[in-house]
């Protein structure tokens, strides 16, 4: 049971609530105020006068504007060149004070990089130091990147989405013509490209590559498939809904897997994730799975970009 205030109407809380709604003015009657004076010149007169002036002096005004515009363009060009020269000189002077190219004692080769290299294999089990850095030590950063990609793909689709009316008019434009060269070539190339992309993703912790490059390769394969076989065939399994579901599932898995790893790591708990034997395919703890997630997100994003720019919708 809540207790009711019998004097609620006059309570301070009630006044405050009324004040926030704009019904009550605590300073009413206490301050000197002037009643608002109605101006004699009403707004319509000024606008009508302006309109008259505009119609009378239109040519003069436009001529003057053109003159000002050409002067502004000249000054703009000059100032832009000046700015460019100034920034070039400034940056070249800065470069001249930097350490020599390839210098081992440069300040950026500090204990951070040394720590990653010396402990990376032992702590994460990944052979590729860059992969162990971006998907283990800095995994949160990579999660943000994947989210940036997802948001960018969504925004592009939103901006370019054509409404149904327009689509019907231009539908015939997007019907893929039967091409004698493209289709047989795509039939051979698409599986090879996609398998190579999967190889790059799965070996991301062992060799150069990883989720981003492998995902881009798979995306290129999907785009080739779409170009060769048309929207109808590609849309069977690559519909907008499927792509959204796959992307969001990958991002969610990434989020939960890495949260678990952070939670156990920060609290010194026993974790089921082990570095494994370095060099094996299923080693390096979470890195393989996170690489797969990132690869799926990148491939779907590349494909959605292409579809959005080509047709506006799936």
Partner 1 sequence: MGTSVFTNYEECASVILFVIGMMNLLLQSNLIKKIIGLDIMDASVYLFLAAKGYIEGRHAPIYTDGITDASYYINPVPSGLVLTGIVVSVSVSALMMALTISLYRQYKTLNLDEIMMKLRKQESEEFIALSNKTEGEGSK
Residues lying near partner 1 in the complex (CB under 8 A) are found at 42-44, 47-48, 50-51, 54, 77, 80-81, 83-84, 87-88, 91-93, 95-104, 106, 108-109, 112-114, 116-118, 120-122, 127-130, 133-134, 138, 141-142, 145, 148-149, 151-153, 155-156, 159-160, 207-208, 212, 278, 298, 305, 308-309
Nearest distance, CB of residue 224 and partner 1, angstroms: 19
Q: Cα dihedral sign for 153, 158, 160, 163?
A: positive
Residue 291 and residue 202 in contact, taking contact as beta carbons nearer than 8 Å? yes
Identify which of residues 186 and 200 has a Cβ nearer to partner 1 in the complex. Answer: 200
Nearest distance, CB of residue 124 and partner 1, angstroms: 11
In angstroms, rounded to a whole number, what is the distance separating the alpha carbons of residues 108 and 231? 49
Nearest distance, CB of residue 52 and partner 1, angstroms: 10
Q: Cα dihedral sign for 67, 68, 69, 70?
A: positive
User: Quick one: how far is CA 218 from the chain centroid?
Assistant: 20
Nearest distance, CB of residue 118 and partner 1, angstroms: 5
Identify which of residues 51 and 233 has a Cβ nearer to partner 1 in the complex. Answer: 51
Nearest distance, CB of residue 138 and partner 1, angstroms: 7
Cα–Cα nearest to 252, from 309, 204, 297: 297
Residue 162 and residue 313 in contact, taking contact as beta carbons nearer than 8 Å? yes
Identify which of residues 186 and 219 has a Cβ nearer to partner 1 in the complex. Answer: 219
Residue 299 corresponds to which tokens in the numbers above?
A: 């491939």
Identify which of residues 130 and 246 has a Cβ nearer to partner 1 in the complex. Answer: 130
Identify which of residues 95 and 269 has a Cβ nearer to partner 1 in the complex. Answer: 95
Identify which of residues 186 and 299 has a Cβ nearer to partner 1 in the complex. Answer: 299
Contacts 24+ apart (CB under 8 A), 74-82: none
Contacts 24+ apart (CB under 8 A), 226-230: 226/303, 226/306, 226/307, 227/176, 227/182, 227/186, 228/176, 228/179, 228/182, 228/183, 228/185, 228/186, 228/187, 228/190, 229/176, 229/183, 229/186, 230/175, 230/176
In angstroms, rounded to a whole number, what is the distance separating the alpha carbons of residues 186 and 85? 49
Nearest distance, CB of residue 290 and partner 1, angstroms: 14
Nearest distance, CB of residue 34 and partner 1, angstroms: 27
Identify which of residues 212 and 289 has a Cβ nearer to partner 1 in the complex. Answer: 212
Nearest distance, CB of residue 108 and partner 1, angstroms: 6
In angstroms, rounded to a whole number, what is the distance separating the alpha carbons of residues 201 and 218? 10
Identify which of residues 18 and 65 has a Cβ nearer to partner 1 in the complex. Answer: 65
């Amino acid at each position: 049971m809540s207790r009711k205030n019998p004097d609620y109407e006059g309570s301070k809380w009630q006044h405050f609530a009324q004040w926030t709604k704009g019904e009550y003015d605590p300073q009413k009657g206490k301050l000197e105020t002037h009643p608002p004076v109605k101006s004699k010149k009403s707004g319509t007169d000024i606008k009508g006068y302006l309109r008259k002036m505009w119609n009378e002096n239109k040519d003069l005004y436009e001529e003057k504007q053109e003159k000002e515009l050409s002067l502004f363009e000249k000054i703009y060009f000059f100032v832009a060149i000046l700015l460019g020269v100034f920034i070039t000189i400034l940056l070249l002077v800065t470069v001249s004070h930097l350490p020599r190219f390839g210098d081992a004692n440069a300040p950026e080769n500090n204990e951070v990089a040394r720590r990653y290299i010396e402990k990376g294999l032992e702590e994460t089990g990944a052979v590729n130091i860059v992969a162990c850095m971006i998907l283990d030590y800095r995994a949160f950063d990579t999660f943000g990147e994947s989210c940036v990609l997802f948001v960018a793909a969504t925004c592009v689709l939103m901006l370019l989405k054509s409404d149904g009316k327009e689509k019907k008019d231009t539908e015939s434009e997007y019907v893929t013509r039967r091409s004698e060269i493209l289709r047989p070539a795509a039939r051979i190339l698409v599986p090879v490209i996609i398998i190579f992309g999967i190889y790059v993703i799965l070996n991301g912790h062992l060799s150069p590559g990883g989720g981003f490059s492998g995902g881009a390769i798979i995306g290129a394969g999907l785009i080739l498939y779409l170009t060769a076989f048309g929207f109808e065939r590609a849309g069977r399994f690559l519909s907008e809904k499927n792509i959204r579901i796959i992307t969001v599932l990958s991002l969610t898995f990434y989020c939960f897997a890495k949260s678990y790893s952070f939670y156990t790591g920060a609290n010194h708990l026993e974790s089921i994730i082990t570095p494994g034997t370095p060099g094996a395919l299923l080693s390096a703890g979470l890195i393989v799975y996170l690489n797969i997630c990132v690869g799926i997100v990148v491939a779907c994003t590349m494909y959605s970009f292409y579809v959005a720019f080509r047709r506006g919708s799936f």
